[in-house]
Chains A and B, each alone.
Chain A
Amino acid sequence: MNASDSNATVITKGNDTMTSAEPVAAPATAGTAAPSRAGHAIEAIDLDIYYSDFLAVQGVSMTIEPRSVTAFIGPSGCGKSTVLRSLNRMHEVIAGARVEGQVLLNGQDLYGAAVDPVAVRRKVGMVFQRPNPFPTMSIYDNVLAGFKLNTKKFKKADADALVEKSLRGANLWQEVKDRLDKPGSGLSGGQQQRLCIARAIAVSPDVLLMDEPCSALDPISTLAIEQLMLELKDNYTIVIVTHNMQQAARVSERTAFFNLEATGKPGKLVEMDDTKTIFANPREKATQDYVTGRFG
């Protein structure tokens, strides 16, 4: 992020103190294992996730570094998507889903008694596996969709500026700037996914969750999104679920490996460490087996 790029740099992401002169926080350097509560860290404390009576995920405790990319990996059905969705309370959309334990965002428990899930989701954004721009809206309206929910009155000039800023942030501006009023569904898969990212960052979330964002895309679009992630992490905390271990190795600083003991048993967090460590010399045998391709 160049200081000379006046549109992009000095943007504070929902900080309590909105000073434009705040220096860009030094990103967590690779190799730091010590959890930090500065910035927008997420901390899960003894998280159990239930679907009605079925315990899907058990005893997850982890810290997610601010302004970094953390990857969740693991075999199918091990609960990594479930844990991801619990970070913005989207799992509650399924009837009967509930949680025991805590998830702290900057020290505030997302599951506190008086907390509104709607407010949580504004702070913790999500991008889905299959791109889902609203089909009846133009690109312009898609980007503003979340923003319009919160703000009824705004000047057109401000809205235009926000759309441009978000699309630039998603590396999509150059490609669509001449057709902002065309439907969002008319773009290619990779472009649609970047549109969804633009839509998500338009509401200035603290955290961006990505649930296998590239699995429906071709390799070139995948590369573009991974590139984007490396840029976004300067301003957002990113958590990504991926089936693709090479992708995890490419983009993330820290990796969490989830696994099931057996079908029907709850998923568990087996090991979480710097990405280099997870892939080179993990502590657990299961991790070792998974990353070397012995199962999964």
Chain B
Amino acid sequence: MTATLTDPLALADAPLTRGRLGVAGQWAIAAVAVAVGLAVTLPFDGFKWGWALVVAAVTYIAVTYTVARVVEDRRQAADRVATAVMTTAFVIVLVPLASVTWTVIKNGAARFDLAFFTDDVKFTTAELAAQREGAKVGGASHAILGTLIVTGLATVFAVPFGLFTAIYLVEYGVKSRLARAITAMVDVMTGIPSIVAGLFAYALFELFFGPGTRSGLSAAVALTVLMTPVVVRSAEEMLRLVPNELREASYALGVPKWKTIVKVVIPTAIAGILTGITLAIARVIGETAPLLITAGVLDARNLNPFSGRMTTLPVYAYQYYQIPGTAKQAAYDRVWAAALTLVLIVGILFTLARVLATVLKPKGLK
């Protein structure tokens, strides 16, 4: 009995100290890895830094494991490899981010000028001639306006829609069957693919206005379907975070429920609600597919959302990439400038959301 219990199981008295792979050792391994990476890939023609880095990374991990295994022990080696893998993963993720940002800036800079923001692409013969000479003609002003109009309309629809639904879920209809049904349906709505929302809006307007109807309003409806669940979810979460004690204090003063909501609950939650709205806008402002089939493409300004096609920025970029026309490079330049504008807009919205969240948060809440 005693032999079984003491020998294999009683852990051998491991010494507290042992060799450690210090910082110097790690740098040494890194240097070796880089050397191997270069040595293995340089001889091939068409040398690429990418492959060299990949080989270096793999070598680093393999060598670290082996050396640590010998110098330290198996568990420490596994720990080091894990650390290396996590760090590598993070670096890998930064590469596409950097690449996309760099590409958009580099290519978009060519036409990031005043003409881009004021012109449209309805060219006169004189302008076409000038373009052939290399002049920077044509722009996306109509598309930018289109984006503002369509997204603006969608926001005007989605925010009250979403906010009131959230108010119902949190304040009025708590635990009712209707509330449960609504919550389930909001979940379903979050999952609607954007193109399907576009198909719905198209079908809806076709029923009332005939086949082939394109309008800014139709696009706004599609975007509303996409935005509303996002607004509902974030507003609901924010409203739930408001402590009940605040509501009770207001009721105890004789304030009716609706006024409590308007004057106490919403202002307390406003930071989160605004953040949610900003993020919802950021999400739909880059949508292309539903807009393609609802608002279509137009080469000039149309400020009337109720009738006629209306181009938006993402559709503009897509359209003129697929069909650049004869002056290809000029078209591509405009496409990239549009992409740059889009990325900037979304980036600003994202940052705005973050700023709102920190600045407007009432002190002492959460």
Q: Is A in direct contact with B (CB under 8 Å) within the complex?
A: yes
A110 contacts the other chain (CB 8 A): yes
Q: How far is the CB of A132 from chain B (nearest CB, A)?
A: 22
CB-based nearest B residue for A9 = B2
Which stretch in A60-68, A76-84, A157-165 binds the other chain?
Answer: A157-165
Determine the residue in chain B with the shortest Cβ distance to A154: B8
A12 partner, pick from B3, B4, B6, beta carbons under 8 A: B6
B98 at the interface (CB under 8 A from A): no
If A6-B1, A122-B11, A149-B75 touch, does A114 touch B6 (CB 8 Å cutoff)? Answer: no
Q: A20-B2, A161-B5 are in contact. Are A11 and B10 (CB under 8 A)?
A: yes
Complex Cα spacing A155 to B14, Å: 21
A119 at the interface (CB under 8 A from B): yes
B13-29 with Cβ < 8 A to chain A: 13-20
Residue B253 interfacial (CB < 8 Å): no
Q: Is B92 in the interface zone, CB < 8 Å from A?
A: no
- B interface, CB within 8 angstroms of A: 1-11, 13-20, 75-76
Contact B18 A12 (CB under 8 A): no
- B19 partner residues in chain A, CB cutoff 8 A: 114
Q: Do A12 and B10 have beta carbons less than 8 Å apart?
A: yes
A89 to chain B: closest CB distance in Å? 11
Question: Which residues in A have some Cβ–Cβ distance to B below 8 Å?
Answer: 6-7, 10-12, 14-16, 18, 20, 105, 108, 110, 112, 114-116, 118-120, 122-123, 147, 149-151, 154-155, 158, 161-162, 165, 203-204
Show 18 A/B contacts (Cβ-Cβ < 8 Å), sorted by A: A6-B2, A11-B5, A14-B11, A15-B13, A18-B7, A20-B2, A114-B20, A115-B16, A116-B76, A118-B75, A118-B76, A119-B14, A147-B9, A150-B11, A158-B4, A161-B9, A162-B5, A165-B5
Are A116 and B5 interface neighbours, CB within 8 A?
no
Closest B residue to A151 by beta carbon equals B11
List residues of chain B with CB within 8 A of the CB of A118.
Answer: 75-76
* Alpha-carbon distance A286/B76, docked complex (angstroms): 46
Contact of A204 among B8, B10, B20 (CB under 8 A): B10
Task: Give bound CA distance, A112 to B16, whole Å.
Answer: 9
Contact of A108 among B9, B10, B16 (CB under 8 A): B16
- Chain A binding site: helix, strand, loop or mixed by DSSP? loop
Neighbour of A119 across the interface among B2, B5, B6, B16, CB < 8 A: B16
Additional 4 contacts, C-beta under 8 A, given A12-B6, A114-B18: A116-B18, A119-B16, A162-B5, A165-B5
CA distance A18 to B13 in the complex (A): 10
- Select the residue from B4, B9, B75, B76 with max chain A CB neighbours within 10 A: B9
Contacts of A161 in B (CB 8 A): 4-5, 9
Shortest beta-carbon distance, A201 to chain B, in Å? 11
Chain B contacts for A165, CB-based, 8 A? 5
Q: Name the CB-closest residue of B to A21.
A: B2
Q: From residue A173, how far is it (CB to closest CB) to chain B in Å?
A: 15
Contact at A158–B11, with CB atoms within 8 Å? Answer: no
Question: CB-CB < 8 A to A151: which residues of B?
Answer: 11
A20→B10 CA distance, assembly (Å): 12
Q: Knowing A11-B5, A161-B4, A165-B5 touch, does A123 contact B10 (C-beta < 8 A)?
A: no
B42 to chain A, nearest CB (A): 39
Which of B5, B19, B76 has most A Cβ within 10 Å? Answer: B5
**Chain B contacts for A10, CB-based, 8 A:** 2, 6
Q: Would you call A7 and B20 a contact (CB within 8 A)?
A: no
**Is A16 a contact of B16 with CB atoms below 8 Å?**
no
Contact B11 A162 (CB under 8 A): no
Q: Taking the nearest CB of chain B, how far is it from the CB of A5, in angstroms?
A: 11
Across the interface, A116 reaches (CB within 8 A) one of B3, B9, B16, namely: B16
**Are B16 and A11 neighbours in the complex by a CB distance under 8 Å?**
no
Closest 7 CB pairs of A and B: A114-B17, A20-B2, A115-B16, A119-B16, A10-B2, A162-B9, A14-B13
Taking a contact as CB atoms under 8 Å apart, the answer to whether A203 and B6 are in contact is no
* Complex contacts, A122 vs chain B, CB 8 Å: 11, 14
Which residues from chain B contact A11 at a C-beta distance below 8 Å? 5-6, 10
A149 contact set on B, CB distance < 8 A: 75
| B13/A158 in contact, CB under 8 A | no
Q: Which residues of B contact A105 (CB under 8 A)?
A: 16
